[in-house]
Structures are given as C-alpha cells and as structure tokens.
Structure 1
Amino acid sequence: MSTTMTSKGQVTIPKPIRDALHLTPGSSIEFTVNEHGEVVLHGANLIAGKTSKPDRFDAVRGKADIKWRTDDLMALLRGDD
C-alpha cells in the first residue's frame, strides 16, 4: 500500500493497517527504523504490554436524543439565581 505525504509531512494510514494495529482517533503511534532502513509503525498501546484506558465518554457519545436549545440549557445549568 502506498500513500502520499502532504506539504506538512502528514500521511493517511491505510484502513487495513489501522485495523490491524487497532488504531483509533487519538491513538498513540510509535515509529522506528529497523536495521534494514525500513520504517516500522507500532501502535504505542501495544508496545511493552501497555493497554489504553478506555475513554469514559465513548460509550455515551452520540446517544443524546434531546435537542437542547442554548437558552434552555443555560437556564438549567445556571439555576434560578
């Protein structure tokens, strides 16, 4: 697989590689160069037995079914002061 680097030095990691390394947005990634001069990409959470702490908001993200109006929400948060 190949990809193109942007002028800022950014590349997109192809989906099959992201899936194989269990990479999600916000994942730590470690790059190394091996003895053959090849760049090796590691999911940093998989290195040395590290495990990522699950985001406590992931389970509820996108679940709200009430469409709040800003004024109503602010009144609720501020109280009757």
Structure 2
Amino acid sequence: MMELPVQINLRITSKNQVTIPKTVRNFLKVKPSDSIEWTIDTNGQVSVTKGTAELWAMVSEQEKEYGNLSTPEIDWGTDIESDDFD
C-alpha cells in the first residue's frame, strides 16, 4: 500500500492536456474509457475521484428500455399454467 499523502507534479501540454500518472490510475483503479470526476472546493483545492457516470448512464439506458420499479407490469393475459385457463 502506498504511503499517503503523495504529491505528483504534471506538466500541461500546449493543447492543455495532462497524462494521468500510473500511481493515480492505480490508486483510483481506473482504466481506459473510465471517467474521473474533478471537484473544486471553495478554497481552490481540486480533488480527483473515479467517476460513476458510466454506471448511471447504463442505468438510464436500461430504464428507458425496461422501465423501473414503479413501471406497471404488462398484462400478458391469462397464464397458461393458471387454474383460470380453459
């Protein structure tokens, strides 16, 4: 386990980009296509955390397709194995 706190210095490229250091990627357990969230507090301190955007985007897409807990069930008619079926 890494000893905290850790300070890492980065250089911003001419296109205003930075590479996320391996130490940070490993600590956050992120991989390509994952998202990270940047939070800036009132003191100007920036926090970086693993994002949850993909999870909620997937939940939203599935909700559109399948509904959610408050979506009423579809009435498919009488069940074949039902005693009511003649």
Q: Which of 4, 15, 19 does residue 11 from structure 2 map onto?
A: 4
Q: Which of 8, 22, 31 does residue 24 from structure 1 map onto?
A: 31
Instruction: Give the root-mean-square deviation of aligned CA atoms.
Output: 2.1
Provide the C-alpha distance between the structure 2 equivalents of 1:39 and 1:9, rounded to a whole number of angstroms.
Answer: 17
Provide the C-alpha distance between the structure 2 equivalents of 1:32 and 1:22, rounded to a whole number of angstroms.
Answer: 18
Per-residue CA distance 1:22-62 (angstroms, 9 max, x = gap): 110111111110232111111103x8xx58x8xxxxxxxxx
Letter in 1 for 2:42: E
- Structure 1 stretches of 4+ with a deviation exceeding 4 A read none
Q: Which runs of 5+ in 1 are unaligned?
A: 54-81
Aligned to 1:64: none
Provide the C-alpha distance between the structure 2 equivalents of 1:19 and 1:35, rounded to a whole number of angstroms.
Answer: 28
Q: Which of 17, 22, 40 does residue 33 from structure 1 map onto?
A: 40
- Radius of gyration: which is bigger? 2
Aligned to 1:77: none
- TM-score calculated relative to the size of structure 2: 0.49
